[in-house]
Amino acid sequence: MGSRGKWKRFGMALLVMSLVMSMMSGVAAAEKNDKKGRPMVVFDLKTFLSGMPNSQVAYDYLKLATALQGLVNRSQADLYYLYESNYVAKAEGMDSDRFWLEELSKKKGFLASRPVETPQTFNEVLERFASSVKGVVVWDSSVPATANVASTVAGVEGWLPVRYDETPGSPYTELVQNRGIPVKLNLVGKFTGQGTIEGTSLASTGSAKNDAYLWAKVKYLDTGRTNRTMMVYALDAVSWEFDQNKELNAQLVSFTMPTSMKPGESAEASITLRNNGIKPWTFAANDRLASAPDPLNEFVWEDLNGGFSQGPANQRVFMNPGETIEPGGQRTFVFTIVAPAAAGTYTFSAQMVRDGVTFYGGRIHREIEVTTSAEPGEPPVPETGLSEEFVYPDLFNSFLPNADYYIANKAFFFDLSPDELSLPNDDRNQTLGTDFRTLVELLRSQNRHAGENIITIGGFVPWWLKYTKHADAQARLEPVAAEWKYADEISKYNAQKDADAFGLVGLSNASLFQHVPLEKKFKQDNDKGKKMRKNYDPNKKYIAFYMGDYDSGAWTSGALPALWNDPKRGELPLAWAPVLGLSKRVPQVFNYLYDTMTENDYFVAGDNGSGYLNPMMLLEENRPDGLPDFLHVWEKYNKEYYERFDIDITGFLISGNSGYVPLEVQKSYARFSPDGVGNNAGFEQPVVKGTPFAQVYDLPNEPNAAAYGEILAQRLRGGEQFQMFRNVLFKPSTIVDGVNYVKQHYPELNFEVVDPYTYFRFYKEAAPWIKETKTYTSAKAAAPVQADGTVQPGEWDGAEQITVSAQSGDVLEFGQTWGVPGNLETNYKIKWDNEHLYVLEQRQDDSFQFTETGSQMYLSDASMLFLSLNGSKVGSTYLDGDYALMFTAGGPDGQPHMFIREGHNDGVTEYPLTQGTIASTVNDNHYTVEIAIPWSALQTIPFTPAEGATIGMSVLATHGPTNWGQIMWVGNGDDQSKWADLRFGGSGS
């Protein structure tokens, strides 16, 4: 965005007087008791960066500032920044950096004895720590990877990273030209993707990006100069507008809105955006201007051109009916913003959205001061948008705030695609798989130096910009699939990830936090379900709440305290799940949590214990390069953390692409997590060495207590007696109010919220896995079924009928409903012969909406047929022999369609199913679909049906998108262990 006010080259006045005043007594005491105490510098980095003329200069100073902080704080805690909070903290009124500074400065706190200096400009900060600056390493904008190489060099050599930019006011101009700080290493022009990689004997990969990382590997990683157990997956310096081939994209051209308002005042806002994608925006496709989720918008909008406002976080300004904005065209949205009622500084945030599909384009973000002293002024002047060559609209999520910790610890920085089967959208000219091969080379080298130790890799796949279908239509993997693929690859080399994922990436000051002394031994302030030991009631349903996902230092330090300090925490037993290995990076969080817990707060280990890696990849059969089994090292690593933190339960074990947890891994977890293990998919055995293993169920992040209560009630009506719900970034008050809502509105639901220890104990005692499996017998067709959409006399005789509705007995006992099932009722029949599988659906509903024909068919009126042809029914990952066939009686074109999700041991493929036949007959509130699927289309494993054989199977009916809902006959989604069996019967069945 454009600048606000005149930019001052090297800083703006600090706005921290209130903080300083609050610390005066502590500082005075410290000076009295320790007049020689070393001062700590506190600098308002946010205010400094807000005065930059564009996002490129702001990016470069943020990179410079965090590198300096990492060097300064390497061996002692001397420099603290006040920067930015994530949207979760902001929504709860918490400034994360100020919160931790105040906590650590309290009596007996880590910083209690430290006097504070508050420099007024960044120049003063540089002067104050001049002894830490030994030189600079200059990186090359034309090869964004060199920014990461420069960060690696900064950590090892102590040289500050600066972009080559001779523009007045740039860090390069200030440090090199004005201050005369020597250039120790110049990376400009060093990597061309040709010949031999300079300074090595390696032939170029043909990619300047990969050559840069391999040069750094040879010079720093292979020689053992970087940290032997730490790396970092950090987004490189690529412009966020680098990809000109995005299907949906938007660029800010200009905007007009006030810089200050009175409480409750209304003002006009105008935002002009350019369609710089390759697809048009249309009213019909639901392209709209939306209040952005991050940073969280705090202004109510009005005059929305037919749009809606459901609170600051959920608002839309509509285009005109029939309107289309072609690529290259512009659209101006004019509407009204209403200031909050209380004075303060509030965030306006907006972004384009295709509702039901994705947000896209850069965010429009502005801080507006709401004050009673605001004076009417001249009408706001239009400000220009992002016109610089390198655009960084969201510095908080750029990973730069996090770099100080990794530079302080001499970590190796990289940004490479984990997918060897797609060309990365930031380097499409490379040979397919080059990124992946370089990543493997880095991991091999790191593994050699780590020895018998677990490696920690900070960061996360930058899915919002690179390497996934979200950012690139040509990519192979969705964001979660990329997360799991990356987890698999690093786990093979005994590395776990500190997963600072998009939305809440930023974490400042970890280079200082790491010095906070961690308690040597922690004890939970609860009875672990023993003192008030409950008795199991077979007529009652039991639920527990898992509070995650805190597998990231940034999420744990920046979001968890804001939710933890909810006023209703302690009213219900909750299982909080910080990942224990994060205590090295953010130890102050763990001290704080254990100091302030109530008897209803329970700590369990988060993903996947003491760190997020895939333990199945540690088994010898999954390890590359002849590496030995490493599971015993992982077990020892976890045992030490579990004992220190008084942990007995692993709350959530993500099995990812492994599909399920095999017995050998279960035995290992049983030895350090004896009281229970939760999982997203499935296990080979439900109880191993006395330890119960149970699935954990995701709940949508619904902040409205009544809506959340309806979701809970819906889940409680299903057939599951035990459900542990995974709640990501939830406030306790939402859960407390949601549970009370269910008790008030649905008193017939007999359930109890229990602590995790009681939950796993009851689960083990009840043994719900022994529950009889639902079996469907499929009659063999005496003659081929004519799949013509019309039921012919005798054609479906002898076939059992499956009824799917919200009131169906099978659904109530074995199945699940989601959303608004309404009056949807459908009946299925399945037959088979040696050549085909035949399916009949006869559906009735109030109305039909046929809006989807592809992978999102489940959002409209459609069905899904789940098949596990090997009959093992283990896990939730689609492996060889697993299928989900989606079919609809009609699409936008009026024709029926089939689409298939086909499992493979190395991933999932999805495509329109053209083999076979589908036909339908559609009336106002009734339709018939007939399908004939050749077995030849279902051969990822050799399969031939045979009378008496059994496979896994279930069906699911959906309707929507308006009043969307879905009903599953048997099961609760992709968890195959909950599916029915299909037995192949004879023609007389």
What residues form DSSP beta bridges with 889?
none
Does the pLDDT at position 432 exceed 50? yes
Does the pLDDT at position 788 exceed 90? yes
86-106 residues labelled b (16+ CB within 10 A) or e (exposed): bbbbbbbebbbbbbbbbbbbe
Q: One-letter amino acid identity for 599?
A: E
Residue pointed to by tokens 């309107």: 323
Q: Would you place residue 66 in the very low, low, confident or very high pLDDT band (cuts 50, 70, 90)?
A: very high
Q: Cβ contacts of residue 75 below 8 Å, gap of 6+?
A: none
- Here the tokens at position 629 are 């089994």
Q: One-letter amino acid identity for 660?
A: Y
Q: Round to whole Å and give the CA distance between 330 and 248.
A: 14
Torsion angle of the four alpha carbons 865, 871, 877, 882, in this order, in degrees rounded to the nearest 10? -50
Report which of 576, 616, 608 is spatially closest to residue 677, judged by C-alpha positions: 608
pLDDT value of position 30: 34
Q: Give the pLDDT mean for 652-659.
A: 90
Q: Give the pLDDT mean for 363-381.
A: 77
Lowest mean pLDDT among 71-75, 269-273, 389-393, 462-466: 389-393
Q: Give the pLDDT mean for 281-308.
A: 90
Q: Can you point out the beta strands (E) in 764-813?
A: 775-780, 802-805
pLDDT tens per residue, range 910-945: 999 999 999 999 998 999 999 999 999 999 999 999
Dihedral sign of CA atoms 637, 639, 642, 643 in order? negative
Report which of 253, 244, 320 is spatially closest to residue 282, judged by C-alpha positions: 320
Does the pLDDT at position 1 exceed 60? no
Does the pLDDT at position 3 exceed 80? no
pLDDT value of position 173: 96
pLDDT value of position 957: 97
Does the pLDDT at position 528 exceed 60? yes
- Three-state DSSP at 982 gives strand
Report which of 851, 762, 810, 854 is spatially closest to residue 978, judged by C-alpha positions: 810
Q: Round to whole Å and give the CA distance between 524 and 412.
A: 36
- Here the tokens at position 762 are 């009851």
Q: In terms of CATH architecture, what is 543-731+744-769?
A: Alpha-Beta Barrel (3.20)
- Here the tokens at position 404 are 């100080």
Residue pointed to by tokens 């948008």: 385
Q: Round to whole Å and give the CA distance between 857 and 873.
A: 24
Q: Would you place residue 25 in the very low, low, confident or very high pLDDT band (cuts 50, 70, 90)?
A: very low
Q: Give the pLDDT mean for 334-341.
A: 95
Does the pLDDT at position 777 exceed 50? yes
Does the pLDDT at position 5 exceed 50? no
Q: Cβ contacts of residue 316 below 8 Å, gap of 6+?
A: 288, 289, 290, 291, 304, 307, 308, 309, 353, 355
Q: Would you place residue 161 in the very low, low, confident or very high pLDDT band (cuts 50, 70, 90)?
A: very high
Q: Which helix (H) or strand (E) holds 145?
A: helix 145-157
pLDDT tens per residue, range 947-989: 999 999 999 999 998 889 999 999 988 888 889 999 999 976 5
Q: Would you place residue 78 in the very low, low, confident or very high pLDDT band (cuts 50, 70, 90)?
A: very high
**Per this entry, what is the length of the chain?**
989
Q: Give the pLDDT mean for 455-476.
A: 94
Q: Identify the CATH assignment for 775-984 out of 3.40.50.150, 2.60.40.1190, 2.40.30.10, 3.40.190.10.
A: 2.60.40.1190
Task: Express as a percent the part of the chain with pLDDT over 70.
Answer: 94
Q: Give the pLDDT mean for 219-232.
A: 98
Q: One-letter amino acid identity for 564?
A: W
Q: Round to whole Å and give the CA distance between 755 and 545.
A: 8
* Structural domain boundaries in the chain: 11-51+79-128, 133-240+392-516, 251-385, 543-731+744-769, 775-984
pLDDT value of position 255: 87
Is the model more confident about 126 or about 249?
126
Q: Give the pLDDT mean for 611-624.
A: 97
Q: Are 975 and 682 within 8 A, CB to CB? A: yes
Q: Round to whole Å and give the CA distance between 915 and 913.
A: 6
Does the pLDDT at position 886 exceed 60? yes
How many CA atoms lie less than 13 Å away from 697 in the CB half-sphere?
Answer: 21
**pTM, to two decimals:** 0.83
Backbone phi and psi for residue 139, each to the nearest 5 degrees, phi listed first: -105, 165
Highest-pLDDT range among 7-11, 109-113, 212-216, 247-251: 212-216
Q: Give the pLDDT mean for 463-486.
A: 92
How many CA atoms lie less than 13 Å away from 847 in the CB half-sphere?
Answer: 7
Task: Express as a percent the part of the chain with pLDDT over 90.
Answer: 78
Q: Round to whole Å and give the CA distance between 609 and 496.
A: 10
Dihedral sign of CA atoms 575, 578, 583, 587 in order? negative
Q: Identify the CATH assignment for 251-385 out of 1.10.357.10, 2.40.50.100, 3.20.20.70, 2.60.40.10.
A: 2.60.40.10
Q: Cβ contacts of residue 443 below 8 Å, gap of 6+?
A: 489, 490, 492, 493, 495
pLDDT value of position 18: 35
pLDDT value of position 455: 98
pLDDT value of position 350: 92
- Domains 251-385 and 543-731+744-769 alike in fold: no
Does the pLDDT at position 7 exceed 70? no
Q: Round to whole Å and give the CA distance between 377 and 1.
A: 22
- Here the tokens at position 135 are 């030189």
Q: Can you point out the beta strands (E) in 845-905?
A: 862-868, 882-888, 897-904
Q: Round to whole Å and give the CA distance between 932 and 448.
A: 54
Q: Give the pLDDT mean for 211-227.
A: 98
pLDDT value of position 988: 63
Does the pLDDT at position 475 exceed 90? yes
pLDDT value of position 377: 58
- Here the tokens at position 809 are 């007995």
Q: Round to whole Å and give the CA distance between 17 and 565.
A: 25
Report the DSSP pairing between strands 383-384 and 897-904. unpaired
pLDDT value of position 906: 79
Mean per-residue pLDDT over the chain, rounded: 91
Burial degree of 420 (CB within 10 A; 0-12, 13-18, 19+): middle
Dihedral sign of CA atoms 780, 783, 784, 787 in order? negative
Q: Give the pLDDT mean for 816-828.
A: 92
Backbone phi and psi for residue 238, each to the nearest 5 degrees, phi listed first: -60, 140
Q: Are 450 and 269 within 8 A, CB to CB? A: no
What residues form DSSP beta bridges with 369?
260, 345
pLDDT value of position 381: 65
Render 509-555 in DSSP notation, one character per residue: -HHHHTTSPPPSS---SS-TT-TT-----TTSEEEEEEEEEE-SHHH
Does the pLDDT at position 908 exceed 90? no
